[in-house]
């Protein structure tokens, strides 16, 4: 087993001598990504700032490469650790390239003179986050999303062993979110970069993280690999969700389901029904769905939004009793929507339901 590169022992963090979170025990090895998730105000940023030595520890120890991080000389720490937080930096009259270049200062000596090798690293970092075209622009005159990319390039330019990121994707559109996460993951694989970050995007956290730290009501509630965190019901508990739902298996977030007796019965399957389910939800129309296999692409969304889901276990034969039950629900609905234009060998029950709806004069076919 690879030894721990970063770990804490009973770390306590807070502000102005007032403890906020006690007994924090976390660890990662080289090349691993640790992501912190939890509600706003739970203390994720406080943990990051304490690790970065922007806040004094109120108890416990933090070790980096088996050395007490609090006693490491500042210049050495700057060569090992890069930080990208949400605070704005003072950058009057500085271009984007000037900002990125500050990531090389731990290596330049007291005169701060950049070598050709430094310039090459700066150029590569800018290219990596697709900001080369911004190099000569005033840092204060670009968008928030562009500034975030510049700060990410600055951290990469620092060539750290570990990087701390506080909501690094906050101002990035989906294209740059995915590109940055891909870059981050590639650096953990090829350069053994270790990462500690906070994220609000739970789907990204689940996909990219080796370990996840859950902060809830000012204490660490869970710490472990994603498969131990994203279990049914836990994310709703962690964020104290009172409306809508989060489906851990698929990472889908859905708004609250319409209430009342179903007005529409939907025949779906193979991912054909999700857009219809959401269209009905937006209009506030309660609906029933069936018959779906529980491993079908449509099932998580149907479960979240439908008043009633008639389902069968994966690869189970659908019984006559289940078909009769579906017809009974159909009879209660003024309209039936069929999202399918064909039915496979294993889906003949739904073909029969579609034909039944047609005979009843209720069938509408989408798209």
Give the domains, in start order, of the chain with CATH numbers: 6-239 (3.40.50.300), 255-364 (3.40.50.720)
Please give the pLDDT value at position 346. 81
Please give the pLDDT value at position 329. 96
Cβ partners under 8 Å of residue 89, min gap 6: 99, 151
Cβ partners under 8 Å of residue 276, min gap 6: 266, 268, 337, 339, 366
**CA angle 292–294–296, rounded 5-degree value:** 70
Please give the pLDDT value at position 90. 67
Cβ–Cβ under 8 Å, residues 215 and 44: yes
pTM of the model: 0.81
Helices (H), the chain: 44-51, 74-80, 96-101, 105-108, 116-128, 144-157, 174-190, 202-208, 226-229, 234-238, 274-282, 299-305, 320-332, 348-359
Please give the pLDDT value at position 176. 83
Cβ–Cβ under 8 Å, residues 234 and 248: yes
| Number of residues that make up the chain | 367
3 state SS of 133: helix
Q: What is the dihedral of CA 125, 130, 132, 133, to 10 degrees?
A: -170
How does pLDDT run along the chain (367 residues), one tens digit per residue?
Answer: 457 899 999 999 998 889 999 999 999 999 999 999 999 888 999 999 999 999 999 999 999 999 999 999 988 898 899 998 876 666 678 999 999 999 998 888 777 788 899 999 999 999 888 889 999 999 988 888 888 889 889 999 999 999 999 998 887 888 888 888 888 898 899 889 999 999 988 989 999 999 999 998 888 999 999 999 999 889 988 988 877 878 777 777 888 999 999 999 999 999 999 999 999 999 999 999 989 999 999 999 999 999 999 999 988 889 999 999 999 999 999 999 999 888 888 889 999 999 999 999 999 877 6
> Is the CA virtual torsion 31, 36, 37, 40 positive or negative?
negative
Cβ–Cβ under 8 Å, residues 290 and 298: no
The candidate with the shortest Cα–Cα distance to 5, out of 71, 63, 49, is 63
- A 10 A CB-CB count for 16 gives 7
Please give the pLDDT value at position 260. 95
Q: Rounded to an integer, what distance in angstroms lies between the CA atom of residue 307 and that of residue 300? A: 13
The candidate with the shortest Cα–Cα distance to 173, out of 149, 193, 156, 205, is 149
CA distances from 9 to 6, 66, 161, 213 (A): 11, 12, 21, 15
* Backbone Cα Rg of the chain: 26
Please give the pLDDT value at position 263. 96
């Amino acid at each position: 087993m690879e030894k721990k590169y970063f770990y804490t022992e009973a770390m306590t963090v807070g502000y102005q001598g007032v403890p906020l979170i006690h007994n924090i025990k976390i660890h990662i090895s080289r090349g691993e990504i640790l992501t912190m998730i939890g509600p706003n105000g739970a203390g994720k940023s406080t943990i990051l700032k304490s690790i970065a030595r922007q806040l004094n520890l109120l108890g416990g120890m933090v070790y980096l490469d088996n050395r007490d991080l609090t006693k490491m000389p500042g210049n050495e720490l700057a060569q090992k650790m890069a930080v990208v937080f949400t605070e704005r930096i003072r950058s009057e009259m500085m271009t984007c390239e000037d900002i990125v270049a500050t990531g090389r200062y731990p290596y330049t000596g007291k005169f701060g003179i950049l070598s050709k090798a430094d310039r090459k690293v700066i150029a590569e970092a800018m290219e990596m986050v697709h900001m080369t075209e911004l190099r000569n622009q005033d840092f204060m005159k670009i968008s928030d999303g562009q500034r975030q990319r510049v700060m990410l390039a600055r951290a990469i330019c620092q060539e750290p062993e570990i990087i701390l990121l506080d909501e690094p994707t906050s101002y990035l559109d989906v294209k740059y979110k995915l590109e940055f996460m891909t870059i981050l993951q590639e650096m953990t694989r090829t350069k053994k970069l270790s990462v500690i970050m906070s994220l609000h995007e739970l789907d990204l956290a689940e996909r990219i993280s080796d370990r996840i730290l859950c902060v809830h009501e000012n204490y660490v509630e869970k710490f472990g690999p994603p498969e131990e965190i994203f279990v049914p019901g836990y994310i709703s508990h962690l964020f104290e969700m009172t409306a809508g739902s989060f489906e851990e298996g698929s990472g889908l977030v859905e708004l609250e389901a319409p209430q009342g007796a179903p007005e529409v019965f939907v025949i779906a399957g193979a991912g054909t029904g999700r857009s219809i389910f959401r269209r009905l939800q937006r209009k506030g129309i309660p609906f029933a769905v069936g018959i779906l296999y529980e491993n079908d692409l449509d099932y998580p969304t149907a479960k979240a939004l439908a008043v009633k889901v008639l389902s069968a276990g994966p690869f189970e034969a659908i019984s006559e009793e289940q078909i009769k039950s579906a017809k009974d629900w159909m009879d209660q609905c003024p309209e039936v929507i069929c999202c399918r234009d064909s039915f496979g060998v294993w889906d003949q029950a739904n073909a029969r339901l579609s034909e039944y709806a047609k005979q009843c004069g209720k069938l509408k076919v989408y798209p």
